[in-house]
Amino acid sequence: MSGWNPRNIRNFSIIAHIDHGKSTLADRFIEHCGALERREMQAQVLDSMDIERERGITIKAQSVALDYRARDSQVYRLNMIDTPGHVDFSYEVSRSLTACEGALLVVDASQGVQAQTVANCYTASELNLEILPVLNKIDLPAADADRVISEIEDIIGIPAHDAVRASAKTGVGIADILESIVQRIPAPKGDTGAPLKALIIDSWFDNYLGTVSLVRVIDGVLRPKEKVRLMATGRDYQVDEIGVFTPKRRPVDELAVGEVGYVIAGIKDVRSARVGDTITHTNRPAEKPLPGFKEIKPRVFAGLYPVDAQDYESFRDALGKLQLNDASLHFEPETSQALGFGFRCGFLGMLHMEIIQERLEREYGLNLITTAPTVIYEVVTTKGEILQIENPAKLPEAAAIEEFREPIIRATILVPQDYVGDVIGLCVEKRGIQRNMIYHGRQAIITYELPLNEVVLDFFDRLKSVSRGYASLDYDFLEFRTTDLVKLDVLINGDKVDALSIIVHRDQAQYRGRELAAKLRELIPRQMYDVAIQAAIGSKVIARETVKALRKNVTAKCYGGDITRKRKLLERQKEGKKRMKQFGSVEIPQEAFLAVLRVDGK
Amino acid sequence: MFRFSSLPPLSLYVHLPWCVRKCPYCDFNSHALRDELPQNEYVAALLRDLEHDLPRVWGRTVHSVFLGGGTPSLFDPEHIDRLLSGIRARLPLAPLAEITLEANPGTAELERFRAFREAGVNRLSIGIQSFDDAKLSALGRIHGSTEALKAARAARDAGFDNFNLDLMFGLPGQTLSQALSDINTAIGAAPTHLSVYQLTIEPNTRFASNPPANLPGDDTLWDMQQAIQRLLAASGYHQYEVSAYAQPGRECSHNLNYWRFGDYLGIGAGAHAKLTDPSGIARQWKQKHPAAYLAAAGTKDAIGGESRLTRNQAVGEFMMNALRLTTGFDKSLFDERTGLPIGQIVSQLEIAQSRGLIEEDVVHLRPTSLGQRYLNDLVPLFL
């Protein structure tokens, strides 16, 4: 079944901060429209990946087609397009929003507006989407609708006096939201007779189906068995199946103007069907692709190493499998003197990195050491070459570097005014340059230019702690900028441990070096010999610490009855040491490799 | 496959689990005595238990007997007499078998010790721990320095020409000179053997949940240990194991049998046995709680559990024990006791040697002084 008149289609996204109840709300819509029996409702249908469900965030966009009988007795096709809810995935968000004519701005009535929401709302406004504010969790005792309404009006700048007051938990206001979607969000426009243009909102890999792409038809009509072209790569494919998610997968005969659905076309990997690309017909192609397509580049890099060298092969397989479904994950083999064979992986951001790491450990049972995350640097050598450096170990000698450039982001921080001072202090410590500051009632929006490498270290955690969890952050990449950077090395008993090298600003090198050496002293257990820890820039040692040797390590008593117990105790200790890396005669625990991350500010 | 050329020597361990009070550092199977000591019943239970175990050691001679606890000296000599007679009647004891009884300082030692001797005990092991009143009370001991001294003297006066004193160092607030003073006092009582343990906070003890304040630091402990080793060596006690010192020829044969990975039978609550048979090595232990043990002794229900060692476990346990001996062991002993060729640990031995932890020649292998000092870094190579 198909052939929806565009007048009866409404395409919308939900913009919400993590925990503000987006998924629960989506569940209520599905329930209200009778798409699933109650018994089929798995709490939060939309976030189907385990990690997504646990963290309450959406990583991959998905969509649901709902048939809603409105108060005017007509049936409308509501396409709800889910968007990722985290700063790392801002490009995906913009593509999801492009596919819509409207968006629900869901704000927790007890917590108010957060930076992520603001950034996504701005994107939605720029794309001319109709934004419908919804106050969720209105049933909570701490809900303060009036305050949140004026916050929405002040900060985001849209009228909110008639915002629907709802509770996804109790079901209050659900019908009103659906009705206002029909009333206020414009119907899609497009030319059915024009050459096909379908926007890829998301692609994922399914073991049985191959690559599945979620698309929004802008112009023309798409049918099964047709030959289509992906305009970014110019490659042609035969469409095997098209359909919609209700949320169950249901094939249809056509997807026409304004419709949202999936396309399966024998595409081998998700890289070939990239988010933002345009699908057209091979025999009657569109003149120009849809605007806005970008190649997404990883911005954060880290070395990942199997603790047990024997896991290398299965590690590579696991990365390959994850990549099938995640075009933004990059990896290439890397060798470290300290950690052996592993991979340098590129991620969109810190959350993306954490998610990948967690999936590797949880779904593939791997035990991994992750080096401190780093960003990509540009180095101009004295010979005039421009190098992209994603691993501090690959940095040329200081003498061969003419110019050192680091990536700068523009960060938008939303914070209650009580914490403004602390947030500014943090930004200054992180070498930020203030660009703007606006007060809206109790809230301030602060815009800073910050070096990305400072942000990947511990900025999120610090921001949360200085603002008691109230500050929220959004950022986008600005430019590469020349800075006075140096490589800080760590030497253990005189030998450089490549995996512990970091690139830091010269002004901070001294402090970082001292902190890092002190942190390592705490983390490296006492062993048979003294362990000397040094932090150095080039050949100049700027900090040193010593882990004093154990004076002895022997069990005082061992007789007939305790042998098994004492053996097991030693076996357990040995098992624990397996998680350490032997470096010369020194055993370094995994945590040490993350110590660079946790060098606290004063 | 395990291949044994002969069966190892056999010892007998007898556990008497009661104490007047449980010490806060003790992680042995000991129980504070609440009612009257069930001496009759317990001795009868021990003999029933032994009888049940007999088929497992049929025809084998017992080289040593150790009555440990708990506080075995709480048992009246007549009951110890009954126990030892019962053992002799059921098991062939070697002519000069060492028979040790553990005793704690208390009252009226002399008479009691004499009577133990008449019952057949030929070695005493007295739990002195310290001769310092403050330290004894910190350890939760029920005796004071006077009783400690009296007990040490009583052993010799009662006619024991072979006895051990247990001492501890690294006690709360202890200084180096206090530790040495304890050792000197002990030497003054002229024991043939001294066991000197560093106080260790074991899990599941009162000290673990409520650690004593001002325990000496690592540096002090190491100084204490070295000074104690020097003092004892100068006084004619040579160290033959991590915590054991003896006059020449007075090493404890019972404990040596453990460390040389010999066999032992274990009777009494929670007692462990290790027995070799042609197909491998088995460990077995009895019901831990005295009441449960008393009820089940003599039946298979008295067995708390058993396991057979894998080859790796056999290797690990052998090394864990034999490397405790300062003189190490003959390589042939490895094959003999584990039933496995020593060839299979060649690569680990090489690592240990390269780290300076062991030294070996064609026939013999021993931990170096570094290996003795870092035994817990050496042993795991073989686990």
- CB atoms closer than 10 angstroms to residue A15: 31
Q: Is the pLDDT of residue A602 over 50?
A: no
Contact list, B69 vs chain A (CB under 8 Å) = none
- Phi and psi, residue A566, nearest 5°: -70, -35
Q: Output the six-digit token pair for B178.
A: 């206090």
Q: Taking CB atoms and an 8 Å limit, are B243 and A556 in contact across chains?
A: yes
The dihedral over CA atoms of A270, A271, A276, A278, expressed in degrees to the nearest 10, equals: -90
DSSP designation for A348: S
CA distance A219 to B275: 85
- Looking at residue B216, its pLDDT comes to 96
Q: Does A39 touch chain B (CB under 8 A)?
A: no
Contact list, B270 vs chain A (CB under 8 Å) = 561
Percent of chain B scoring above 90 in pLDDT:
96
Q: Which residue of A has its CA nearest to B263?
A: A560
Range of lowest pLDDT (A280-284, A356-360, A536-540, B318-322): A356-360
- Looking at residue A42, its pLDDT comes to 52
Spell out the SS3 assignment of A472-502. EEEEEEEEEEECCEEEEEEEECCEECHHHCE
| SS3 state of residue B322 | helix
Q: Is the pLDDT of residue A502 over 90?
A: no
- Give the orientation angle of helix A312-324 with respect to helix A350-363, to 10 degrees: 120
Task: pLDDT band for A574, please (50, 70, 90 cuts).
Answer: confident
- Looking at residue A44, its pLDDT comes to 47
Q: How far is B28 from chain A (nearest CA, A)?
A: 9
Q: Are the folds of B10-257 and B310-383 the same?
A: no
Q: Is there a cis peptide before residue A346, judged by omega within 30 degrees of 0?
A: no
Amino acid symbol at A131: I
Q: Does A567 touch chain B (CB under 8 A)?
A: yes
Closest residue to A557, CB basis, from B29, B197, B373: B197
Range of lowest pLDDT (A171-175, A267-271, A482-486, B258-262): A267-271
CB within 8 A of A539, min separation 6: which ones? Answer: none
- Looking at residue A581, its pLDDT comes to 73
- For A310-320, the pLDDT digits (tens) are 999 999 999 98
CA distance A519 to A338: 18
Q: Does A575 touch chain B (CB under 8 A)?
A: no
Q: Which residue of B has its CA nearest to A573?
A: B380
Percent of chain A scoring above 70 in pLDDT:
92
Task: pLDDT band for A597, please (50, 70, 90 cuts).
Answer: low
Q: Where are the domains of chain B?
A: 10-257, 310-383
Closest residue to A554, CB basis, from B258, B355, B376: B376
Q: Output the six-digit token pair for A509.
A: 């090198």
Average pLDDT (A202-209) is: 83
CA distance B348 to A581: 18
Q: Is the pLDDT of residue B107 over 50?
A: yes
Given a contact cutoff of 8 angstroms between Cβ atoms, the answer to whether B207 and B24 are in contact is yes
| SS3 state of residue A548 | coil
Range of lowest pLDDT (A148-157, B20-29, B343-352): A148-157
The hierarchical CATH code for the domain B310-383 is 1.10.10.920
Nearest to A339 by CA among A577, A595, A593: A593
| SS3 state of residue A149 | helix
Average pLDDT (A140-165) is: 89
CA distances from A53 to A18, A326, A362 (A): 11, 18, 14
- Looking at residue A57, its pLDDT comes to 43
Q: Is the pLDDT of residue A49 over 70?
A: no
Q: Which residue of A has its CA nearest to B26?
A: A557
Contact list, B242 vs chain A (CB under 8 Å) = 554-556, 558
Q: Is the pLDDT of residue A17 over 90?
A: no
Closest residue to A554, CB basis, from B270, B317, B373: B373
Q: Does A584 touch chain B (CB under 8 A)?
A: no
Average pLDDT (A531-558) is: 94
| SS3 state of residue B119 | helix
Average pLDDT (A109-113) is: 87
CA distance A579 to A587: 10
The CA-CA-CA angle for residues A414, A17, A106, to 5°, reads 110
Q: Which residue of A has its CA nearest to B282?
A: A564
Cα A91 from chain centroid (whole Å) = 10
Q: Does A556 touch chain B (CB under 8 A)?
A: yes
Q: Where are the alpha helices (DSSP H) in A305-402?
A: 312-324, 350-363
Average pLDDT (A201-215) is: 86
Q: Is the pLDDT of residue A2 over 70?
A: no
CA distance A119 to A129: 14
Give me Rg for the CA atoms of chain B: 21
- Looking at residue A117, its pLDDT comes to 80
CATH topology of domain B10-257: TIM Barrel (3.20.20)
Given a contact cutoff of 8 angstroms between Cβ atoms, the answer to whether A159 and A110 are in contact is no
Percent of chain A scoring above 90 in pLDDT:
46
In chain A, what's the furthest Cα-to-Cα distance?
90
- CB atoms closer than 10 angstroms to residue A241: 15
Q: Is the pLDDT of residue A468 over 60?
A: yes
pTM greater than the 0.80 cutoff: no
Q: Does A552 touch chain B (CB under 8 A)?
A: yes
Any idea which residue has 């106080």 for tokens?
B199
Nearest to A83 by CA among A134, A28, A17: A17
Classify B311 in phi/psi space as left (phi over 0), alpha (psi -120 to 50) or beta.
Answer: alpha
Q: Output the six-digit token pair for A488.
A: 């800080």
Q: Taking CB atoms and an 8 Å limit, are A561 and B313 in contact across chains?
A: no
Task: pLDDT band for A595, please (50, 70, 90 cuts).
Answer: low
Average pLDDT (A565-579) is: 84
CA distance B328 to B313: 19
CA distances from A456 to A58, A436, A475, A551 (A): 21, 22, 12, 40
Q: Taking CB atoms and an 8 Å limit, are A564 and B283 in contact across chains?
A: yes
| SS3 state of residue B237 | coil
Average pLDDT (A283-291) is: 93
Mean pLDDT of chain B, nearest integer: 95
Given a contact cutoff of 8 angstroms between Cβ atoms, the answer to whether A345 and A319 are in contact is yes
- Looking at residue A53, its pLDDT comes to 46
- Looking at residue B108, its pLDDT comes to 63
Q: Taking CB atoms and an 8 Å limit, are A552 and B225 in contact across chains?
A: yes
Q: A6 exposed, middle or buried (CB, 10 Å; 0-12, 13-18, 19+)?
A: middle
Sign of CA dihedral A280, A285, A286, A289: positive
Provide DSSP, A222-244: B-TT-EEEETTTTEEEE--EEEE
Range of lowest pLDDT (A121-130, A348-357, B370-379): A348-357
- Looking at residue A557, its pLDDT comes to 92
Q: Is the pLDDT of residue A599 over 60?
A: no
CA distance B208 to B202: 6
Q: How far is A550 from chain B (nearest CA, A)?
A: 8
DSSP bridge partners of A77:
A9, A67
Helix (H) or strand (E) holding A378: strand A377-381
Average pLDDT (B186-201) is: 96
The CA-CA-CA angle for residues B105, B111, B112, to 5°, reads 55
Nearest to A563 by CA among B321, B240, B306, B242: B321
Q: A436 exposed, middle or buried (CB, 10 Å; 0-12, 13-18, 19+)?
A: exposed
Cα A563 from chain centroid (whole Å) = 51
Given a contact cutoff of 8 angstroms between Cβ atoms, the answer to whether A531 and A492 are in contact is yes
- CB atoms closer than 10 angstroms to residue A600: 10
Given a contact cutoff of 8 angstroms between Cβ atoms, the answer to whether B169 and B231 are in contact is no
Identity of the highest mean pLDDT range in A103-112, A267-276, A362-371, A572-581: A103-112
Given a contact cutoff of 8 angstroms between Cβ atoms, the answer to whether B258 and A560 are in contact is yes
Task: pLDDT band for B340, please (50, 70, 90 cuts).
Answer: very high
| SS3 state of residue A400 | helix
Q: Is there a cis peptide before residue A247, judged by omega within 30 degrees of 0?
A: yes
Q: Where are the alpha helices (DSSP H) in A374-531?
A: 420-429, 452-454, 460-466, 506-523
CA distance A19 to B285: 55
Contact list, B286 vs chain A (CB under 8 Å) = none
The CA-CA-CA angle for residues A108, A113, A115, to 5°, reads 130
DSSP bridge partners of B358:
B367
Average pLDDT (A98-118) is: 88
- Looking at residue A59, its pLDDT comes to 42
DSSP designation for A246: S
